[in-house]
Amino acid sequence: MIGPFTYAPPTAPLDVIHADGALLLVNKPAGLLSVPGKAVEHADCLESRVREVYPQALLVHRLDMDTSGIMVFAMNRKAQRHLGLQFERRHVAKTYVADVWGQVGPDKGEVDLPLITDWPNRPLQMVCHERGRPALTRWRVVARQEGWTRLHLFPHTGRSHQLRVHMREIGHPILGDRFYATGDALNVRDRLALHAEMLEMYHPDDGRRMRFVCPQPW
């Protein structure tokens, strides 16, 4: 059961990583919605903050509210279509950094488990081999510490809560995950230890392969 939630987004100024005539990349802080929620009190979001500075910016993808890191916006409709197709066709390379509970034994591996919305408990997601959509996450150990492990996560698909559920399913929930971690794994951090660290894509104007990095903040 998910406990009561009060939306209190951080108030730090917009952190722009890159801006040109087609692309805008910003660092979304943890605790800020990517897009407005249904409730009036959930109107503050990265999309609205971006448009205060760049009125022409258009949404391309989203990050979970609890996740920090790189988000890309398009600066015109042509770029939005181009970027949307790159995400759809999996031409965008994404790397996340996550601190997970426990000692992960192997140095690398993958999780191939189909996911579906857990409707009675939404927005939670769950594994469902009968009706779930394919979901694949590859991972690699970055460092091992006492009680936890730092991983690089490479999602091949982009399902909702994919990284969070996949890590929980292999017995290593992400630290501070209020949805899928319990006990010490939940309480050891004051935020979800998941950060979108790297995004690589083709520039919509000239096709150059571009790589953007935003170091994890903890």
Q: Which residues in 168-184 are b (16+ Cβ under 10 Å) and which e? A: bbbebbbbbbebbbeee
* Residue 117: its H or E element: strand 115-117
Report if residue 54 sits inside a domain. yes
Q: Helix H segments across the chain?
A: 46-53, 77-88, 162-169, 183-187
In the chain, how many domains are there?
2
Q: What is the CA radius of gyration of the chain?
A: 17
Q: Which 8-state DSSP code applies to residue 133?
A: B
Which of 30, 57, 33, 54 minimizes the C-alpha distance to 43? 33
Q: Which of 34, 62, 91 is the last residue of a domain?
A: 91
pLDDT band at 168 (very low <50, low <70, confident <90, very high): very high
Report if residue 125 sits inside a domain. yes
d(CA 93, CA 160): 17
Catalytic residue at 64?
Answer: yes
pLDDT tens digit sequence for 90-146: 999 999 999 999 999 999 999 999 999 999 999 999 999 999 999 999 999 999 999
Report if residue 4 sits inside a domain. no
Residue 85 phi, psi dihedral angles, 5° rounding = -70, -35
**Domain extent for 170:** 96-194
Q: Which of 64, 66, 99, 177 is catalytic?
A: 64
**pTM of the predicted model over 0.85:** yes
Report if residue 11 sits inside a domain. no
- CATH code of the domain containing 134: 3.30.2350.10
Q: Which of 35, 67, 91 is the last residue of a domain?
A: 91
